[in-house]
Chains A and B, each alone.
Chain A
Amino acid sequence: KNQVEQSPQSLIILEGKNCTLQCNYTVSPFSNLRWYKQDTGRGPVSLTIMTFSENTKSNGRYTATLDADTKQSSLHITASQLSDSASYICVVSAGASKIIFGSGTRLSIRP
């Protein structure tokens, strides 16, 4: 069964600190993996996309990694800012026609 699991479910950190969010998936055949950021009351916005051959992708203070062997991905946020408070959703595409969303990690940045 195609599944995407994220951890932790929620996370609170202080402004300026780093954090890492995890995504484990069992999806076949793997096509690509995306991380989305969803601000409260808004639609998700794509942060990164990685295919099978890519193991690191950066977007500013966001760095995503992918280990296709262990079927794990992580999203690392450096020097967190208050505006990073949001839900982060891991999304895996299976082939060309299936897309599986994780439940997201709710991140809160405290001043």
Chain B
Amino acid sequence: EAGVAQSPRYKIIEKRQSVAFWCNPISGHATLYWYQQILGQGPKLLIQFQNNGVVDDSQLPKDRFSAERLKGVDSTLKIQPAKLEDSAVYLCASSLASGTFRDTQFFGPGTRLTVL
């Protein structure tokens, strides 16, 4: 079974530039999550989708971050404009069905973003 795919794996941009990350979840997984993991810290949930609807985006900095999951499969996370403090690993995860945290989440390898 293929895992969660993310691209790119690495991205270096200058502050105030824009960047987009892509995630393809495990086939059949209804729930998709985006996390931000700053070096030395645990992941922080940014947004959770159930199919193509948003379940929780309470920690998403909506003035600069946006995410969409068209057709309930792939998802993109965008940052515009980027700040130095956005340097982190952006993890995508998916889980099978219920959208609750009782399901096991499967994580992708992450995208490491460096903002200069």
- Report whether B42 and A89 are in contact in the complex, using a CB–CB cutoff of 8 Å: yes
Count class of interface residues, chain A: 20 to 34
Total residue contacts A-B, CB cutoff 8 A: 52
Q: Report how many residues on chain B are interfacial, defined by Cβ distance under 8 Å.
A: 21
Comparing A13-21, A62-70, A77-85, A98-106, the segment that makes contact with chain B is: A98-106
Chain A binding surface SS class:
strand
Alpha-carbon distance A96/B100, docked complex (angstroms): 5
Please tell me which one of the listed residues B40, B45, B91, B107 contacts residue A103 in the complex, with CB atoms under 8 A apart.
Answer: B40
Alpha-carbon distance A31/B103, docked complex (angstroms): 11
Alpha-carbon distance A32/B101, docked complex (angstroms): 8
Chain A residues within CB distance 8 Å of chain B: 4, 31-32, 34, 41-46, 49, 89, 91, 93, 96-99, 101-104
Of all A-B residue pairs in the complex, the 3 with the closest CB atoms, nearest first, are A43-B107, A101-B42, A93-B101
